[in-house]
Amino acid sequence: MVVTATNTSHVGRDLNRGAAFAVVAVAYVVAIAAAVAAGWIVRDWHPLAVVAVADLTGTIVIFAASVIMRNSSMYDPYWSVAPPIIALYLMNGGARDWLVFALVAAWGLRLTFNWARGWPGMHHEDWRYSDIRRSAGSAYWGASFFGIHLFPTAQVYLGCLALYPAMFGHRPLGWLDAVAIVVTAGAIAIETLADEQLRAFVQKRQPGETLDSGLWRYSRHPNYFGEISFWWGLWLFGVAARPGDWWWTLAGPLAITAMFLIVSIPMLDKRSLERRPDYAERMQHTSALIPWFAR
């Protein structure tokens, strides 16, 4: 679930929720069209190079929309919208291709839906972006492009590297594919359950209260655990299809894991320490990421 903070400087702050969604939808249609056009121009390049050019083009379009609307949360759905499109482009027609695409599409649709139902409209912006806006001052849009837009796009691109061997490998389905299915589908299920439990809690929580039930009893960030596990599952599909490509596709899940461990989790923990009196004690007894019994 996206946590947001009010920013009254947005151009679209007076739009109702439906109109705000329409603006986002138009921006993403234009971004996808621009990405497809850019990819077509370099269509003779290596598929991963085509994806890189198209991905960068789409990111630039969404960044332009963020500037126009003065709201960097225009980028929020990009993380889950881009991978299914990339997977669709890389499909090669095999049984593994359809299996991988179905899992990526299920993950993307669920995550996008979770964002959509939690996003109140253009008058809100992710609190992390608002913090960057305050600290960066006049340099904000440069920080927004490189830190809020380009960096996550690069992370997603690295995570999607494993789709290339998974789609273009010729090894028949085997036991490692079964492991990959369990990991990837299990990750989607864990992330879904964690988000549902968080959503139910947020709707009735009291100020300063900490979620300490369900999956959240065993991990401070079970939704992040599910997200990280999803990318490791995709990597396993690539290894199953083309074992010789395991070393360079490892960059994807490693980069995403590092991002959550080094950036996302410490940032959220710091915010929770400032807002919840009992959170310091929770940090002492509850695993940060991997669900486990309390210490």
> What is the predicted pLDDT for the residue at 271?
92
> What is the predicted pLDDT for the residue at 10?
60
Detail the DSSP E strand segments found in the chain: 4-6, 124-126
> What is the predicted pLDDT for the residue at 294?
84
> What is the predicted pLDDT for the residue at 5?
42
Q: Which neighbouring-strand residues pair with 4?
A: 126
Distance CA 98, CA 260 (A): 29
Average pLDDT per block of 10 residues along the chain, 295 residues long:
45 82 96 98 97 98 96 96 97 94 98 94 90 92 96 97 94 96 98 96 86 94 98 98 92 97 95 91 94 88
Structure tokens at 101: 């695409």
Closest C-alpha to 102, from 174, 185, 189: 185
What are phi and psi for residue 59, nearest 5 degrees? -65, -40
> What is the predicted pLDDT for the residue at 23?
95
CA distances from 40 to 30, 37, 54, 62, 157 (A): 15, 5, 9, 19, 18
Query: Which residue's entry shows tokens 């702050």?
Result: 13
> What is the predicted pLDDT for the residue at 227?
98
Structure tokens at 160: 């999607």
> What is the predicted pLDDT for the residue at 93?
87
- State the Rg of the chain over Cα: 20
> What is the predicted pLDDT for the residue at 40?
98
